[in-house]
Chains A and B, each alone.
Chain A
Amino acid sequence: MLIKLYALSTCPYCRMTKKFLDEAAVDYEMVEVDLLEGTEREDAVAEVRRISGGASFPVAVIGEEVIVGFNKKRIKELLSL
């Protein structure tokens, strides 16, 4: 399953989510939006807004589902951990 994590380098919940995924040895792609610049950053923010309806982080895309915030329970369910 494709897992993508939109995060901010400064955000504690993003760190918790990263740590959780790392400890579960899950493969995922991560975009640290605040470290991007120019159009790359604009595109990433636009994408986060499009899929989550806001600009709050973290935003995890797991398959078809979009999870805003560090929702350990839901991530576990989706990944059958």
Chain B
Amino acid sequence: MSDGTPAGTSRHKRSMFEPGTGIDDLKAFMEPFVARLGYKFNTETEFVDEVLEAELEILERDGDIYCPCRVRSGDPKQDAQIVCPCIPFYRDEFARIRKCWCGLFILADVEDGEELLGVIEEPEGPIDVPAFALADLPSGQIRHIKIGKRDIAVARVGDEFFALSNVCRHAFGPLGEGLMDGYMAMCPWHGWRYDVRDGTTDHPNADVRTFETVVRDDFVFIRI
């Protein structure tokens, strides 16, 4: 590190859960968050309690609610990606297996979570990755989302949804932090304009990739 901080530590001290945090506290804390990611608690309530009990043991032992099924590396940045709920870091992987790695959370449209416990079956072909609840993406807005290694910008024009590469081909500005003008996304850095319907721009050889979107259950999904 260049700031003189010893490796593995941070200038910011991380805050942790209050001592005495219980299963019901975790449920109440996680439920509204994962709902906005397109997930819900597994329908197998005993299994949910078992996983959360394990997380509370880990909280006591390691200081945070790390995933009970994965091991910490010791690098705080990397380990932040296995703190529960970890869905934003593995959106594509989890959408493919229809649950988080542990199965604590399942996609909102899965009726019977029991079937997903155990074997991890990865279907062939494209998958729909939940991106935003429709209410979280008002018309005329564009937002960035990380889906696996892909950086994608999702735009809404009226009730139409579009997804394109988040990276402007000019100076690599983040289109998802930019502004919308009709169907045009304007890069926040220098105003390069992309048509969100097909990723085209007036600049030569600068078109960006687009992705198919699907709307169902008040969510916009990106087909990967």
**Which A residues lie at the B interface, using CB under 8 A?**
8, 10-14, 16, 33-34, 45, 48, 55-57, 68-73
Contacts and interface: CB of A to CB of B under 8 A. Distances in A.
9 contacts: A8-B69, A10-B57, A10-B68, A10-B69, A12-B47, A12-B103, A14-B69, A69-B120, A73-B119
B119 A11 contact: no
Contacts of B47: 12
Contacts of B54: 10-12
Contacts of B101: 56
Contacts, number: 56
B73 A10 contact: no
B119 A56 contact: no
Contacts of B58: 10
B118 A71 contact: yes
A73 B119 CA distance: 8
Contacts of B77: none
Given A10-B55, A13-B102, A55-B71, 19 more contacts: A8-B70, A10-B54, A10-B58, A10-B68, A12-B50, A12-B103, A16-B117, A16-B118, A33-B71, A34-B71, A45-B73, A55-B70, A56-B69, A56-B101, A57-B69, A68-B120, A70-B119, A71-B119, A73-B119
Pick the most buried of B54, B55, B69, B102: most chain A CB atoms within 10 A of its CB.
B69
Given A11-B54, A11-B68, A12-B68, A55 B118 contact: no
Given A72-B118, A73-B119, A48 B50 contact: no
B91 to A, nearest CB: 16
Contacts of A56: 69-70, 101
Contact of A45 (B51, B68, B71): B71
A34 B69 CA distance: 10
Interface in B106-127: 117-120
B81 to A, nearest CB: 11
Contacts of A48: 71
Nearest to A41: B71
A57 B47 CA distance: 17
Interface in B82-138: 101-103, 117-120
Contacts of B50: 12
Nearest to B71: A55
A3 to B, nearest CB: 18
Interface in B41-85: 47, 50-51, 54-55, 57-58, 68-71, 73
B46 to A, nearest CB: 10
